[in-house]
Homo-oligomer: A and B are copies of this chain.
Amino acid sequence: MARLPALDPNTVPERRTSIYPEPFRSRMGDRSKRRLGDACGLTRFGVNLVTLGPGGQSALRHWHTLEDEFVYVLSGEVVLVTNDGEQVLRAGMAAGFPAGKADGHHLINRTDRPAVYLEVGDRLVGDEVHYPDIDLFVSADMTFRHKSGEPY
């Protein structure tokens, strides 16, 4: 049995919730996350072990003003969507999204089997999140808003 600081990810609860407002929340489909970094007591960055079932999505296509993000595919395959179009990421491939780069990204599982990846992101007060394709952004006070500024 692993004991901290080591961790067997299977002992970390799976979370299937999303904090997006509707109608966006239900678009995520079959997605579960295990918060490995939190389970290890980390606070500076988060590390999630994510499983996307067929049709599942990592997130709405977005970019962060202050936070770097990184993903590493462990099994299965996902489609990475950015301004440049689509590319397939298979097990052993990675992708990184530097803070402030105004190019939205997300991952979609278009196969008929699960895909598993690690996602890493740092945690910074005042970060904003922008969603180029939809009427949504997250302001620096961590509120989901319409592009007009009005809260959801």
Contact = CB atoms under 8 A, between A and B. Distances in A.
A52 interface: no
Interface string A71-103: 010100000101010010100111111110101
Given A70-B42, A80-B5, A36 B93 contact: no
Contacts of A40: 70, 94-98
A142 interface: no
A40 B9 CA distance: 26
B45 A89 contact: no
In the assembly, how many copies of this chain are there? Answer: 2
Contact of A118 (B72, B82, B98): B72
Nearest to A101: B41
B97 A5 contact: yes
B45 A45 contact: yes
B68 A5 contact: no
Nearest to A91: B74
Contacts of A99: 43-44
A67 interface: yes
28 contacts: A2-B87, A2-B93, A3-B84, A4-B96, A5-B80, A5-B96, A6-B80, A6-B87, A6-B89, A7-B94, A7-B96, A8-B92, A36-B70, A37-B70, A40-B95, A40-B96, A40-B98, A41-B96, A41-B101, A43-B98, A43-B99, A44-B68, A44-B124, A45-B45, A45-B70, A45-B120, A47-B70, A70-B120
